[in-house]
């Protein structure tokens, strides 16, 4: 049981890291696109 906790803890860390980073990138792209459009 303890082993599964470490396994799923590690998996959760990986997916959380990936999705948080993807979210940050996505938000930044939208913000920059908006700013570039405003400049045009």
Q: How many residues would you count in the chain?
A: 40
Asked whether position 19 contacts other proteins by CB under 8 A, the answer is no
CB of 37 to other proteins, least distance (A): 11
Number of residues binding to other proteins, judged by CB under 8 A: 23
State the DSSP code for 20.
H
32: contact with other proteins by CB under 8 A: yes
The residue to which tokens 């906790």 are assigned: 5
Rg (CA), the chain: 17
Residues that bind other proteins (CB under 8 A): 2-4, 6-7, 9-11, 13-14, 17-18, 21-22, 25-26, 28-29, 32-33, 35-36, 39
């Amino acid at each position: 049981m303890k082993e599964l906790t470490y396994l799923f803890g590690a998996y959760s860390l990986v997916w959380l890291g990936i999705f948080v980073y993807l979210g940050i990138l996505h938000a930044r792209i939208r913000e920059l696109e908006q700013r570039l459009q405003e400049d045009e």
